[in-house]
A and B are shown apart, each in its own frame.
Chain A
Amino acid sequence: MKLELGYIFIKDIQFSDVSKVENGTLYVNKEEVKALILEDQNFKKADVELAKPGESVRIMPVKDVIEPRVKVEGPGGIFPGMINKVETVGSGKTNVLKGAAVLTTGKIVGFQEGIIDMTGPGADYTPFSKLNNLVLVCEPIDSLKQHEHEKALRFAGYKVALYLGALAKNLTPDEVEVFETPTLVEGLKMYPGLPRVAYVFMLQSQGLLHDTYVYGVDAKQSLTTMIYPTEVMDGAIVSGNCVSACDKNTTYHHLNNPIIHDLFAEHGKTLNFVGVIITNENVYLADKERSSYWSAKLVEFLGVDGVIVSEEGFGNPDTDLIMNCKKIEAKGIKTVLVTDEYAGRDGTSQSLADADASANAVVSAGNANEVIELPPMEKLIGHVKVADVIAGGFDGSLHKDGSITAELQVITGATNEMGFNKLSAR
């Protein structure tokens, strides 16, 4: 399966009468976007704001971050099974507004959404401070239940992202990248001297709004399975996650999964990238056992020499991570794990909830408990009072001058376990 990603680089975002992309600027008609959101009767009010790199802006609580993309050629549409029909994506051509994003905000669970600062020390921790963001501020109707609110907001985000993506359909990309995965049989012949490598991609599926969807299916209801890496680039996997902001995979992360990209970068040079196995992180022990046995089985079936395993979230998913590792290593297949740490504010606690001697190659995305200071920002988009109750915040996190003292956890994407960032810990 072969996909061409065409990047149109976005260097600025502005409101305008007509939505369009011109000379690297994304122009957005605010009213059209608002109308799109308010199509859903679960919202009584909607507002749209801009947040650009370097501005003194704080956005909170952030639910999801979505990159605008559009299918130019090939079957299906972006976000299959969610917005577009269920048809296999991942081939043909897709255009991307690189440097732009849609941010959804809202008080859903209160303590499980994040903060994005566009400047200052907080901005260093999140990749989204470097993007030209269109921020959706949606007010739900009074009686709306949490899970309905989550779903409504999730869809509002996709719709606006697709609306923006459509602006790129007929544009000539500034840069094109090609990704191709051969069939198993062809792949076997192609690079006989290189180690065969797969990616075991763990998806948050603990329920209670800690969910991930694959072609519209809730991942907790699925057995471990396989997916072409380019399908992921076309939005086959999306986030429905209201969990600690630092290490949940937003939809933006899924679309730009760095492990997939970095494995492709070495494909045919130092390794043979065979494919992606997606597995879940359910709350029942039997589910954890079943899913991890299944990943080990698929890894074995693919005849690979090594795998990278990425976790999402922390706590009991650490057990899924270790189970995957143990069972795969037991088959003589080498593993590298990517996780983050919860070593306490002083950094001295046990970082993971589970451990095993076979997990001897671990990449750390940093200690999410480290306490950080976020200075006040001139402009605030969203609800600042959430700082005290957000995961990683604590009573007194929000100071009178608008500054915030909190754990790194509060920052969206700060310790992403796909290894999206350079942050680490020792």
Chain B
Amino acid sequence: MMKIVHYINQFFANVGGEEMAHIPAEVREGIVGPGLAFQQAFKDEAEIVATIVCGDSYFNENMDEAKKTIIEMVKKYNPDLFIAGPAFNAGRYGVACGTIAKAVKDELNIPVLTGMYVENPGADMFKNNIYIVSTKNSAAGMRDAVKKMAPLALKLGKGEKIGASSEEGYIPNGVRVNFYEKERGSKRAVKMLLAKLSGKEFQTEFPMPDFDRVTANPAVKDITKAKIALVTSGGIVPKGNPDHIESSSASKYGKYDIDGVTDLTEETYETAHGGYDPVYANQDPDRVLPVDIMREFEKEGKIGSLHRYFYTTVGNGTAVKSAKAFAEKYAKELKADGVDAVILTST
């Protein structure tokens, strides 16, 4: 029977949420959490022999060490396949799943599989290195994810030929694979045109190479005269979150006046971000949005001035499209307000 080692984070292992994201990797015999659904899908064809649990923050902040430890753990079980996640739209979990799966594949030379939402940063980072099944954007999509991941996992484990991304359900990985569609190309072309004409969603069968790179603007000539604005995706907001910016998958951004504010304190500001441990940011919001030092620079003449407003949103689980739309809007305002440069902080 095929042997599988499974990697999950602290949340899916039921250890805890953000407050436990710092725990280092540990190995448990057998099945933990989502492994149960996988095991049921595998029936008698495969067995999850061990589950590795690791905190997301721990992994991302101690990447080299975490990788080394986990590879040693996996090695001991001599598995036929390594599965990580699925991570859905959890950014750090996705990056962890991608990083560790790639490391296991490269160093132990066994097939690996993970799953995540297509907009998870981990997807873009690793889709060309490992098979990443495209999942929904939250854990509510677990059943669907297992349904797609389990058959692909068995195929990978057995060393069978892997079909095209659209057949197997993995995120396109830059390797073009032939397969038979249900309808001939001309029919698909007519349907695609009708969808495009009526403004409905359609999927090109060959995405053009990614051109979405923006050339850097010229450097600021004299920073001591420049008006600089602060922007953050770390979700810093006035205490009480007056605009109710969502802690995840934000649908809006905030613009707040910091005229006369020289220091962000626990009493006046907090974070609305739901994706990372908020304690440190709440204790001292300057750790995310450094108003204190910027004011100091302003006073010392190191910069011209700090822009009167800062812009904030929550990066966690927010669709790239909406983040883009927010930024398009406020970037125009910044330009109109004569801002010379922006410092954007992310968590």
A residues near B, CB below 8 A? 195, 197, 258-259, 261-263, 265-266, 270-271, 305-308, 310, 334, 336, 338-339, 341, 343, 346-348, 350-352, 355-357, 359-367, 370, 408, 416-426
Contact = CB atoms under 8 A, between A and B. Distances in A.
10 contacts: A308-B186, A336-B196, A357-B211, A361-B193, A363-B185, A363-B205, A364-B205, A421-B185, A424-B205, A426-B166
B172 A426 contact: yes
A1 to B, nearest CB: 21
A336 B193 contact: yes
A422 B194 contact: no
A359 B208 contact: yes
Given A261-B186, A308-B189, A343-B176, A422 B204 contact: no
A413 B268 CA distance: 70
Given A343-B176, A347-B175, A308 B190 contact: yes
A308 B193 contact: yes
B186 A262 contact: yes
Nearest to B193: A336
Given A422-B184, A424-B205, A426-B164, A347 B196 contact: no
Contact of A424 (B178, B186, B194): B178
The 10 closest A-B pairs by CB, nearest first: A419-B185, A419-B186, A258-B186, A343-B176, A347-B176, A364-B205, A426-B164, A362-B206, A336-B193, A347-B175
A259 B178 CA distance: 21
Contacts of A419: 184-189
Interface of B: 164-167, 172, 174-190, 192-194, 196-198, 202, 204-209, 211
Contacts of B181: 422-424
Nearest to B182: A422
B175 to A, nearest CB: 4
Contacts of A422: 180-185
Q: Which of B172, B187, B205, B209 has the most CB of A within 10 A?
A: B205
A419 B184 CA distance: 6
B173 to A, nearest CB: 9
Nearest to A419: B185
A420 B187 CA distance: 9
Contact of A263 (B164, B172, B190, B202): B190
A421 B188 CA distance: 11
A425 B205 contact: yes
A184 B172 CA distance: 43
A360 B208 contact: yes
B186 A306 contact: no
A426 B185 contact: no
Contacts of B177: 347, 367, 370, 425-426
Given A347-B176, A351-B176, A426-B177, A356 B208 contact: yes
Contacts of B182: 422
A334 B202 CA distance: 13
A270 B190 CA distance: 10
Nearest to B194: A270
A425 B176 contact: yes
Contacts of B189: 259, 262, 308, 310, 336, 338, 363, 419
Contacts of A425: 164, 176-179, 205-206
A127 to B, nearest CB: 10
B49 to A, nearest CB: 33
Contacts of B186: 258-259, 261-262, 308, 338, 418-420
A361 B196 contact: yes
A426 B179 contact: yes
Contacts of B185: 258, 338, 363-365, 416-424
A85 to B, nearest CB: 31
Nearest to A273: B190
Contacts of B204: 360-362
A366 B196 contact: no
Given A197-B193, A360-B204, A424-B164, 8 more contacts: A263-B190, A357-B208, A419-B189, A420-B186, A422-B183, A423-B178, A423-B179, A426-B176
Contacts of B197: 195, 197, 271, 305-306, 334
B274 to A, nearest CB: 34
A336 B172 CA distance: 21
A424 B192 contact: no
A419 B191 CA distance: 12
A345 B196 CA distance: 32
B176 A367 contact: yes
A259 B186 CA distance: 5
A75 B91 CA distance: 68
A408 B180 CA distance: 14
B184 A341 contact: no
A243 to B, nearest CB: 19
Nearest to A195: B197
Contacts of B164: 424-426
Contacts of B190: 259, 262-263, 265-266, 271, 308
A258 B211 CA distance: 32
A366 B179 CA distance: 8
A306 B193 contact: yes
A72 to B, nearest CB: 27
Contacts of B174: 348
Contacts of B211: 357
A270 B179 CA distance: 28
A305 to B, nearest CB: 6
Contact of A363 (B178, B192, B198, B207): B192
B236 to A, nearest CB: 35
A370 B194 contact: no
A408 B196 contact: no
A325 B297 CA distance: 52
A346 B178 contact: no
A116 to B, nearest CB: 18
A307 B198 CA distance: 14
B205 A262 contact: no
A357 B209 CA distance: 8
Nearest to A342: B176
A305 B196 CA distance: 10
A374 B172 CA distance: 28
Q: Which of B177, B183, B193, B194 has the most CB of A within 10 A?
A: B193
